[in-house]
Amino acid sequence: MEVIIRPGAGDAGNLAARLMGRSLRDKPQIVFGLATGRTMARVYAILVEMHKTGGLDFSLASTFNLDEYVGLPPEDAQSYRHYMDAHLFGQVNIDLRNTCLPDGMAVDLNAECERYERLMADRGGIDFQLLGIGRSGHIGFNEPLSAMFSRTRVKALTPETVEQNAVQFGSRERVPRHAITMGVGTILDAKRCVLLATGLEKADIVAKAVEGPITSMVSASALQMHRRCTVIVDQDAASRLEHQEYYRWIFQNEPEWEPYR
């Protein structure tokens, strides 16, 4: 695991977008794993700009989203399909047939989870997985006590997650209580993972995920085992990390990061 600290949230989001853009240019048929939320909206806005002004070509790329709410149709304004269409898919030249999300309206949800796993395998697996982190340390909807080798499945949302999402839905009552999510094991299968976190409210959980023990109580801590994981944080989100100077030294001295300094 590498930790990169950038001065502000905009700098952190810009770096994540540049890494995605570079990966897409290096492999036009790349398979992206994608996340949603306010933090990711910055990344997608930059990718859209790179497409419009720099010719970044999504035409051969495929995508798989981490999760989707159970019971929300794609046209619902709070569905993750709607989010992705608005923030990225509808603004770049990606083939919508290659943009995949779990079907939260499936009659047989367990069969849908198995189908999603097969579809990822058929595409050769995820090349680049973009991740956020929840306040309880979840990645996707892998809430505390999620098995480290879990696969795509239906998960009940914790009261804390429901409370956090109530702002988007207008009330707690309207927030779905279940979601389909890639498992921790599914995420760890990705060839590269990039976790992006910004803001003081993420500082404590980032420190636990990065420098704390690997535990199912903090599902993001499993990323410590990943063969190629980069954690990008702004100064606020990094403020509880004990080894900040070392992380800064890595960014300033490792050849891999020279184009991004």
Q: What is the mean pLDDT of residues 164-188?
A: 93
d(CA 45, CA 158): 30
pLDDT of 67 reads 98
Confidence label for 165 from pLDDT (cuts 50, 70 and 90) = confident
In the block, tokens 């990323």 appear at: 223
Please tell me the predicted confidence (pLDDT) of residue 160.
86
Summarised one tens digit per residue, pLDDT across range 193-217 is 999 999 999 999 999 999 999 999 9
Amino acid at 111: A
Maximum distance among all Cα pairs of the chain, rounded to whole angstroms: 52
Q: C-alpha distances in angstroms, 82 versus 71, 123, 140?
A: 14, 23, 17
Quote the percentage of the chain above a pLDDT of 90.
Answer: 93
Predicted TM-score of the model (pTM): 0.96
Question: Is residue 154 within a helix (H) or strand (E), and if so which, with residue range?
Answer: strand 153-156
Model pLDDT for residues 108-118, shown as the tens digit of each residue: 999 999 999 99
> In angstroms, what is the C-alpha Rg of the chain?
17
For the beta carbon of residue 133, count every other beta carbon within 10 angstroms. Answer: 27
Q: Please, is 256 exposed, middle or buried when counting C-beta atoms within 10 Å of its C-beta (0-12, 13-18, 19+)?
A: exposed
Q: How sure is the predictor about 231, in pLDDT bands with cuts at 50, 70 and 90?
A: very high
| pLDDT number for residue 242 | 98
Decide: 62 and 32 in contact? Cβ < 8 Å: yes
Rounded to an integer, the average pLDDT of 234-241 is 98
Residue 215: DSSP 8-state: B
Q: Which pLDDT score, from 0 to 100, does residue 164 have?
A: 84
Residue range 2-260, CATH number: 3.40.50.1360
Question: How high is the pLDDT of residue 168?
Answer: 86
What does the pLDDT look like over 77-107, one tens digit per residue? 999 999 999 999 999 999 999 999 999 999 9
Contact 151, 117 (CB under 8 A): yes
Please name the helix (run of DSSP H) or strand (run of DSSP E) that holds residue 204, with its range, or none: helix 203-211
Beta bridge partners of 231: 3, 195
Tell the burial category of 157 from Cβ atoms under 10 Å away from its Cβ (0-12, 13-18, 19+): buried
Does residue 167 register a pLDDT over 90?
Answer: no
Mean pLDDT of the chain: 96
Residue ranges per domain, the chain? 2-260
User: Can you read off the two tokens belonging to residue 61?
Assistant: 């790329």
- The predicted pLDDT at position 63 comes to 98
pLDDT tens-digit series, residues 14-67: 999 999 999 999 999 999 999 999 999 999 999 999 999 999 999 999 999 999
Are 78 and 67 within 8 A, CB to CB?
no
